[in-house]
Amino acid sequence: MKDMLGRNINYIRVSVTDRCNLRCRYCMPEQGIKKKEHCEMLTLEEIYQVIEACMPLGIDKVRLTGGEPLIRRDIVQLVEKLSKLTQLKDIALTTNGMLLPEYAAALKKAGLTRVNISLDTLNGEKYKEITRGGDLQDVLKGIEAAKECGLMPLKINTVLIGGFNDDEISDFVKLTLNDNIDVRFIELMPIGQAADWNTSKFIPNTIVLDRVKELVPIERSEASSPAMLYKLPGGKGRVGLINPVSHKFCGDCNRIRLTADGKLKPCLHSNQEIDVKPILRDNIGSLEDAIKEAVYAKPQQHGLGEEGCKPIERDMYRIGG
Ligand code: SAM
Ligand code: SF4
For a pocket test of ligand 1, which of 94, 99, 120, 155 has the largest count of ligand atoms closer than 8 A to its C-beta?
94
pLDDT in tens, the chain (321 residues): 999 999 999 999 999 999 999 999 999 998 877 777 788 999 999 999 999 999 999 999 999 999 999 999 899 999 999 999 999 999 999 999 999 999 999 999 999 999 999 999 999 999 999 999 999 999 999 999 999 999 988 999 999 999 999 999 999 999 999 999 999 999 998 888 898 899 999 999 999 999 999 999 998 766 657 889 999 999 999 999 998 776 667 888 899 999 999 999 998 777 789 999 999 999 899 999 999 999 999 988 766 666 666 656 667 677 766
DSSP-derived 3-state class of residue 93: strand
Tell me, what's the pLDDT at 250?
82
For a pocket test of ligand 1, which of 114, 159, 268 has the largest count of ligand atoms closer than 8 A to its C-beta?
159
Indicate whether residue 259 lines ligand 1 (CB < 6 A): no
pTM exceeds cut of 0.85:
yes
Region of 281 (left: φ > 0; alpha: ψ -120 to 50; beta: rest) is alpha
Atom 8 (ligand 2): residue with closest C-alpha?
Answer: 67
Tell me, what's the pLDDT at 306?
60
Indicate whether residue 297 lines ligand 1 (CB < 6 A): no
For the chain, domains (ranges, CATH) are: 11-318 (3.20.20.70)
Tell me, what's the pLDDT at 119?
98
Q: For residue 135, how many other CB atoms are within 10 A of its CB? A: 14
Question: In 144-249, where do the E strands start and end?
Answer: 154-160, 181-187, 216-218, 227-231, 239-242
Closest to 118 in 3D by CA, of 144, 143, 149: 143
Tell me, what's the pLDDT at 191?
84
Tell me, what's the pLDDT at 269?
76
Asked, as a colleague might, if the bond just before 153 is cis with ω within 30 of 0, I would say yes
d(CA 143, CA 101): 8
Atom 3 (ligand 2): residue with closest C-alpha?
Answer: 27
d(CA 48, CA 50): 6
